[in-house]
Amino acid sequence: MNKIFQSAVLILSFLTLSGCDWLGLFAKEGAVAATSHRGWSTFTFKGQLPAQFGIDATAWYGPDDPDKASCQSPTIEPGKTVTRRYGKQYSADIQAQPQEFSFEIPLNYYKGLCGMSLRRVKLEINIRYGEEKWQRTYGGGNFYIEHPEAADSAIFTKAGTLDISAKCSLMFQESRLHFGIAKLMSCRGARAILPQENLANKTINLKVEVNPVEEPTRVDTWIKFPNGWKPCLPKKGWQRCQVPPVFKTFEMNGQICTIYPNCKEQ
């Protein structure tokens, strides 16, 4: 939940209360915000990104004692509360050239008197594949923070490092909202279960690799030829190609094309 949404929920809850309750809750939440701070223990998440790539890493924290009064926050329903959560985003914007990134992520966070521990780091690996604003997409990943006895918990080297390789592949289709080719991305490997008790001062290195071969997002909607992919008309009431296939044109970069990615057949 982002900060804007959290603020909106809090404001709505205030509007349903009396003046005294409103002032009391406002003062309480203001004090919580004023005394919130990160913990001292951290780990480092860094890596290398290809050209036209960026990354967002959102650290999500949950309370160590969910039933504690200080770990409850008001809702839009008077008298009801929800367990506090906290999220902090770290970002490296898309760059035209290859880049390195490094985030120092705390293992603990304190919302007033509510102590929280890191539960998950959600990843979005972003790519821009064209000059238009809509020509960008992302692939997801997650680092889950668990107790060390988890059977598939990651093992760090003696130097305290863990190398992870995310292999990302692009899939293409005709855009439903724009004139052109839209792309989706899938990234394998950007996932790990990290040991909660032994994560302090460790380093995770992420290397993003891109598969040079693109394929259609849906099977049997484009047909592969030695020089590229040709789109075909679907069967009536179905997405897949007619048999035998009937090919069609498509638009890409302001041109009418017959084959992807070269547009025109040689």
Q: Provide the residue range defining the domain that includes 231.
A: 218-266
Q: Are residues 231 and 213 in the same domain?
A: no
Phi-psi region at 11: left, alpha or beta (left = phi > 0; alpha = psi -120 to 50): alpha
- How many angstroms separate the Cα of 44 from the Cα of each of 33, 103, 175, 205? 26, 6, 38, 8
Per-residue model confidence (pLDDT) at position 21? 53
Q: What is the pLDDT of residues 201-240, one digit of tens each?
A: 999 999 999 999 999 999 999 999 999 999 999 988 888 9
**Res 101 pLDDT > 60:** yes
Task: Name the phi and psi angles at 73, rounded to 5.
Answer: -125, 150
Residue 261 DSSP one-character state: T
Q: Answer whether 161's CB lies under 8 Å from 202's CB.
A: yes
Domain count, the chain: 2
Q: Is residue 53 part of a domain?
A: yes
Per-residue model confidence (pLDDT) at position 25? 52
Q: Are residues 147 and 158 in the same domain?
A: yes
Q: Are residues 120 and 247 in the same domain?
A: no
pTM: 0.83
The sign of the torsion formed by the CA atoms of 65, 69, 75, 78 equals: positive
Mean pLDDT calculated for residue range 28-38: 70
Enter the tokens of residue 244. 């035998």
- Where b means 16+ CB within 10 Å and e means fewer, 72-105 reads bbbeeeeeeeeebbbebebebebeeeebebebeb
pLDDT band at 179 (very low <50, low <70, confident <90, very high): confident
| DSSP-based three-state secondary structure for 9 | helix
Q: Are residues 266 and 158 in the same domain?
A: no
Q: Is residue 183 part of a domain?
A: yes
- How many angstroms separate the Cα of 101 from the Cα of each of 47, 92, 93, 121? 6, 6, 10, 16
